[in-house]
A and B are shown apart, each in its own frame.
Chain A
Amino acid sequence: MNIFNILKEVEKVDPEIFDRLDPRRAVFKHFGGFGKKLAAAAIPVAFGSMLNKAYGQTSSPSVREVLEFALLLENLEYHFYLKAAATNIFPAPAGKTAFGVIRDHEKAHVDFLRTAISGLGGAAPTTYTDANFDWTADGLLGNATFTDYPTMLAVAQAFEDTGVRAYKGAAPALITNDTVLQAALQIHSVEARHAAHLRRMRRDMMPNGVANLKPWITMKDRGGLPAAFQGIYDGEEATTQASVNLVGTFNGIAIDANAASEAFDEPLTVAQVNAIVAPFIA
């Protein structure tokens, strides 16, 4: 993972990223030396905190920033499914058909977002190609992403569950633009449908299905995904919403912590999503 490439990618989304990191930009220059001294494993954390600093101190991102961020994620998904649906490692035709359906949705989302961004005026939306992405996840997955069926499904689930949380985190920033907000919600629920189906596919996978995996997220269980993907699920264990504790017995029906956590999906910040997808950005 080259953190400067990531920042360059973010700069495409947010031209002011460096100014956000530090208005004088001097601190960022120091980060070069800072980064080299960090253990590789600590870089995502440091990067996340940098982005937190960058975005946490400012007001909500603009509509354009949110749409460009979504465009990056949709391109990541689209280029993944473009390759995945073209493989012949599916044990049954239904799986390949499902991947084709999802691929087409992600392509539609890319096109929709590009149109929406163009409609805002200003610079043209960013164009992505397969070369923008690292399907080894910075070496973590080797060449398994498109050659090993369980790995391919795991990556798909990771992208879908992340996508759901990313849109959820972005939605409140769009509250001033009814049209864009509704469209974002309409994409968001499609991503959730995809996520549910991917989880179902992994549950029912033959011969080694992921036992007890559900279409919904139980606590912060990552469902057998690599530990490096835990960030996709951290925070999902919430059982209290807006100060309402949902664990209890209501009209004779007991709601335990598992059910209370499943009933609500949780948002991720831009910084958290960036930290999750960073290994997949070339």
Chain B
Amino acid sequence: MTKQTNPIPEQDVLQGLKNPLNRRSFLQYTGAGVAASALLLAGCDDDDDMGGNNMPGAVNLGSGDVGILNYAYALEQLEAAFYTAVVALPNFSTLFTSAVERQVLTDIRNHEVAHREFFKAAITSTAANQIIPSLTPVLPPSALASRASILATAKTFEDLGVAAYNGAGKLLTSATFLGIAGKIVSVEARHAAEIRDMIENGTFASGSAGITTGNIVDANGLDVALTPAQVLAAAQPFIKETINASNLPTT
């Protein structure tokens, strides 16, 4: 976890690390064996060059709208890798005995792959020299060990994805990209609701947020919105490369 010590001199990053979903809770969650048993997922290139990123193992998301697209691309890579691993588990059918649940997880995998491929193609066509490389997911074996742990990890990723898009919308200057982000975030919210209901029916939009203090939907009826720094503080333990978000827009 030393990669997280890469200093980013921004106050909101520090706040992100101090928020309830801080490094420590993720370390507790992921277990001490993470670093030793980092699981490199099949299908994820790890031989891409680090074009535009001047430190080996570091990935700079860049700035402006492209930076936000790279941020989304990073998160979608992580989600796609997770569900790809889940569906590929040799004991997938015994962990999930319901055909409906297996279909749900397979559908979500497909959606996340579509999101990942969208950003890959869209960023390439917009700013080919600024796209981040394929990232190397780090999934602790404990996250894939049981129905409960898989759904708990999925819940974190989905609620985090919703909060990320909700917080990133205002950082975009292109109405077109904002429209696309809107098309994706509601699908992530559908995923989040279904995963939550699979854990406990009726918790689709209620109960504690998990990814921050308070409830997933607050007293104003609003879902969670988080800054990139807050989201990346939570997501970084699942990504081998150190993500540098210091050049992203803040308004």
**Total count of chain A residues near the partner, CB < 8 A:** 60
A168 to B186, CA, bound (A): 9
A280 to B237, CA, bound (A): 49
Tell me, rounded to whole Å, the shortest Cβ–Cβ distance linking B240 to chain A.
Answer: 18
Asked if A185 and B165 sit within 8 Å, CB to CB, the answer is yes
Stretch of B29-37, B89-97, B171-179 contacting A (4+ beta carbons < 8 Å): B171-179
Asked if A192 and B170 sit within 8 Å, CB to CB, the answer is no
Asked if B221 and A112 sit within 8 Å, CB to CB, the answer is yes
A197 to B207, CA, bound (A): 15
Tell me, rounded to whole Å, the shortest Cβ–Cβ distance linking A231 to chain B.
Answer: 18
Among A176-230, those with CB < 8 Å from B are 178, 181-183, 185-197, 200, 203, 214-216
A58: CB under 8 A from chain B? no
Number of A-B contacts (CB under 8 A): 201
**Partner pick for A263 among B114, B172, B194, CB 8 A cutoff:** B114
Asked if B166 and A185 sit within 8 Å, CB to CB, the answer is yes
User: Can you list the 5 inter-chain pairs with the closest CB atoms, starting with the nearest?
Assistant: A108-B221, A192-B189, A196-B193, A192-B186, A259-B110
With a cutoff of 8 Å between Cβ atoms, the chain A residues found around residue B201 in the complex are 94
Q: A185-B165, A190-B217, A193-B193 are in contact. Are A263 and B43 (CB under 8 A)?
A: no
B197: CB under 8 A from chain A? yes
Stretch of B14-22, B55-63, B116-124 contacting A (4+ beta carbons < 8 Å): B116-124
**Total count of chain B residues near the partner, CB < 8 A:** 60
B157: CB under 8 A from chain A? no
Tell me, rounded to whole Å, the shortest Cβ–Cβ distance linking B128 to chain A.
Answer: 14
Asked if A185 and B113 sit within 8 Å, CB to CB, the answer is no
**Partner pick for B204 among A167, A196, A264, A266, CB 8 A cutoff:** A196
B187: CB under 8 A from chain A? yes
Among B207-251, those with CB < 8 Å from A are 217, 219-225, 251
- Candidate in B44, B115, B206 with the most chain A CB atoms within 10 angstroms: B206
A267: CB under 8 A from chain B? yes
B64: CB under 8 A from chain A? no
Tell me, rounded to whole Å, the shortest Cβ–Cβ distance linking A205 to chain B.
Answer: 13
Q: A196-B204, A250-B113 are in contact. Are A189 and B169 (CB under 8 A)?
A: no
Asked if B175 and A187 sit within 8 Å, CB to CB, the answer is no
Q: Is the interface of A mostly helix, strand, loop or mixed?
A: helix
Tell me, rounded to whole Å, the shortest Cβ–Cβ distance linking A112 to chain B.
Answer: 5
Q: A105-B205, A171-B182, A193-B192 are in contact. Are A186 and B219 (CB under 8 A)?
A: no
Q: A193-B223, A265-B183 are in contact. Are A216 and B115 (CB under 8 A)?
A: no
Asked if A193 and B204 sit within 8 Å, CB to CB, the answer is yes
Asked if A175 and B190 sit within 8 Å, CB to CB, the answer is no
Asked if A215 and B194 sit within 8 Å, CB to CB, the answer is yes
A22 to B186, CA, bound (A): 36
Q: A197-B205, A250-B113 are in contact. Are A182 and B187 (CB under 8 A)?
A: no
Can you show 25 pairs from A to B with CB atoms below 8 A apart?
A101-B205, A101-B206, A105-B205, A168-B179, A171-B169, A172-B176, A181-B170, A182-B169, A185-B225, A188-B182, A188-B185, A190-B221, A193-B204, A193-B223, A196-B197, A197-B193, A214-B104, A215-B191, A215-B194, A216-B191, A241-B180, A242-B122, A253-B84, A255-B114, A263-B187
Asked if A168 and B221 sit within 8 Å, CB to CB, the answer is no
Tell me, rounded to whole Å, the shortest Cβ–Cβ distance linking B222 to chain A.
Answer: 4
With a cutoff of 8 Å between Cβ atoms, the chain B residues found around residue A253 in the complex are 43, 84, 109-110, 113
B184: CB under 8 A from chain A? yes
**Partner pick for B222 among A98, A183, A244, A255, CB 8 A cutoff:** A183
With a cutoff of 8 Å between Cβ atoms, the chain B residues found around residue A108 in the complex are 219-222
Asked if B107 and A216 sit within 8 Å, CB to CB, the answer is yes
